[in-house]
A and B are shown apart, each in its own frame.
Chain A
Amino acid sequence: MEYLKSALASIRHNKGRSFLTMLGIIIGIASVITILAIGNGMKTYVNTSLDEITNGAVTINIDPKKTDRFLTPANLDTIEGAVNEIYGLTPRFSGNVGCHMREDMIVFLEGGAPIVEREFTDGMYKGHCFKEDDVEGARSVGVVDQRTAILLFGTDDVIDKTIEVTYNTGSTEITIIGVAASTPDRIAQAKQARQLRQESYYYCDVYVPYTLLTQKMGYVDEKITSFQLYTLPGMADEAALKVKAAAENILSLRGEGAVKIQSFASMAAMYNNILNVVTLVVALIAAISLVVGGIGVMNIMTVTVTERTREIGIRKSLGARTSMVLMQFLTESAVITLIGGIIGMIMGFIFTKIAESFMPFAPVISPMHVLLVVSISIADGLFFGIYPARRAAKLDPIEALRQE
């Protein structure tokens, strides 16, 4: 307590110099806080966007290079019954087809069971998704999203209109029975992706009963190489592992690595790992300024000790022990860096506010970071204060008193 008071008094006594000494620490702490906050914010952003995109969907692929055993619709029913953490699953067949309505469009038929509706994360705009009897009858009905409807027909009022598609064994007319909503966000995303690819093509998906592909386009429904499951919130990883294990059991492919989970959750985990490493590395680089700042503190404290040799002599002659002088100067350097750390933190808050205004996401400062930064700045002062404080403590009182 007394040390603290005396430290504050001498810092106040030398305001200008104390502030200049703190500058290094201020810059260091401000940049570390800002970087950690941006990294944190980016992580939250990536995670929530991935969650929004996938809505808990996980794709499982069976690698045809590793096995010639594939799943049947009956197998999928068995798996669905065995795993609780899912809403359901659907075989997925996908085929590129020709369409004469627009030359600059590449159209995919996306075959699935009715539960594929879960993929329309923004809900249905008009009509409805195909039903179980459409699948059984392999009817030529389909769902497009608003964006595709506008691209193809110039309007999103397209229920009961037809799209004629061609494939190598023939052609078919698909009647549109539902239009999935596309939020402006989603449309903007698609536009952006197209610009990024620098292509003049539009990619469009038409969702149809998977039996349409198996019966008309030569796909074999007893050979399912890809299927999708829709997991309960927060269960994606767990459910995917269970489903994978069940599939491996059925096909006796345990441990062969032929069944692969392609989930956005595991992608998200990967992104998080990368982001963590990048954040850490950049934060460490910023932390170099803390070392530089610490050396500044060491310099100034050494000068201070030299200037205050007489004061140290006085204190020792009055009965201050070595450890008391040591503590006094350590406290002083720790208080300097702590104040620097607090100012740096405030600067960091301001920087993140500024950063927020031109970034697509909000940086997040966590209480853990604040705690970390405060302890780092104190530790910085203590560490770099040791040398000057020891010099002070070891002074011979007679020599010190002789000093003018």
Chain B
Amino acid sequence: MPSLVDVQDICKVYNPGENEVRALDHVSLTIEQGEFVAIIGQSGSGKSTLMNMLGCLDTPTSGKYYLNGVDVSHMTDDQQSDVRNREIGFIFQGFNLIQSLTALENVELPLMYRGVAKKTRMELSKAALENVGLAKRMDHKPTELSGGQQQRVAIARAIAQAPPILLADEPTGNLDSGSSKEIINTIKSLHAEGRTVILITHDPGIAHQAKRIITISDGKIASDVINEDYKPM
């Protein structure tokens, strides 16, 4: 049984030549099904590049990335789109909801791109919104929702089609402490349901909510430890 995420010796180099920037410098890492991992690093440490790489938004300069046993490191744009659609649920710092669509329509989007029929799509999306406690806000536009609610819509969108990986990039970065707590709890409960969660953050407090903490610095993995203090929900 291959690892869910298997990154082998990945480098990402910008501006190759004299002023080259090594955003990722020979990074290797595996993540198993059902883990709850935080990747922590300062800005410029390469964590965003790693997150783009793990999310199949970018391809490495060298090295291999096996996702669910499939090499996804050298795919075309459309193949990457398909992999993102099938394997990864994104939760972004800025929520990234489409303003002209309702909560429900936003949640439906990845299902639509997958080609799921309208009826099934509605059922799955409603279930996901109920799961994050927004059953009564389905027809609201993002502007009619609070930050915490918007992020929960984004979470519903990420889980609606049950992808193997939830990739959360600073999910609490734009939220007040109350909403942050709420979102972290939601993510924890999703993990408790058996989902694999990768949390990218610069905030040690947030990172400490995870079971395993990978610290990244200067494009390299500085430490990779199990969090002894992990408190499940």
**Is the pair B52, A319 in contact by a Cβ cutoff of 8 Å?**
no
From B57, B86, B98, A397 is in contact (CB under 8 Å) with B57
Q: Are B85 and A318 in contact (CB under 8 A)?
A: yes
A8 to chain B, nearest CB (A): 10
Q: Contact: A319 with B81, CB < 8 Å?
A: yes
Residues of B within 8 A of A310 (CB): 96
* A398 adjacent to B58 (CB under 8 Å): yes
CA distance A324 to B77 in the complex (A): 12
Q: Quick one: given A311-B98, A318-B113, A321-B78, are A401 and B84 in contact (CB under 8 Å)?
A: no
What's the nearest-Cβ distance from chain A to residue B24, in Å?
Answer: 14
Determine the residue in chain B with the shortest Cβ distance to A9. Answer: B100
Q: How far apart sit A398 and B58, CA to CA, in the bound complex (Å)?
A: 8
Q: Does chain B have a CB within 8 A of A147?
A: no
* A317 pairs with B98, CB closer than 8 A: no
Given A322-B77, A322-B78: A317 and B57 within 8 A (CB)?
Answer: yes
Is the CB–CB distance between A314 and B98 below 8 Å? yes
Please tell me if the beta carbons of A321 and B96 are within 8 angstroms of each other in the complex: no
Assess whether A92 is interfacial by the CB under 8 Å rule: no
With A9-B100, A398-B58 in contact, do A320 and B77 touch (Cβ < 8 Å)? no
Asked if A10 is at the interface (CB within 8 A of a chain B CB), the reply is yes
B60 CB–A CB distance under 8 Å: no
Secondary structure call for the B interface: helix
Query: In residues 60-102 of chain B, which contact A (Cβ within 8 Å)?
Result: 77-78, 81-82, 84-86, 90, 92, 96-101
Q: For residues 99 through 135 of chain B, which have their beta carbon under 8 Å from a beta carbon of chain A? A: 99-101, 109-110, 112-114
> Would you call A223 an interface residue if the criterion is a C-beta within 8 Å of the partner chain's C-beta atoms?
no
Q: Given the complex of chains A and B, what is the CA–CA distance between A318 and B84 in angstroms?
A: 6
Taking a contact as CB atoms under 8 Å apart, the answer to whether B100 and A320 are in contact is: no
Interchain CB contact under 8 A, B81 and A316: yes
Interface string of A350-370 (1 = CB under 8 A from B): 000000000000000000000
Q: Mark B38-71, 1 if CB is under 8 A from A, else 0.
A: 0000000000000010010110000000000000
A199 interface residue (CB < 8 Å to B): no
**In the complex, A197 has a CB within 8 A of chain B:** no
Closest B residue to A393 using CB positions: B77
- Cβ contact of A321, chosen from B57, B81, B97, cutoff 8 A: B81
CB-CB under 8 A from B96, the residues of chain A are: 310, 313-314, 317, 401
One of B52, B57, B86, B113 near A320 (C-beta < 8 A): B113
Known: A13-B100, A321-B82. 8 other contacts (CB 8 A): A2-B112, A9-B101, A315-B113, A318-B85, A322-B81, A323-B78, A398-B58, A401-B96
Residue numbers of B with Cβ under 8 A of A are: 52, 55, 57-58, 77-78, 81-82, 84-86, 90, 92, 96-101, 109-110, 112-114, 157
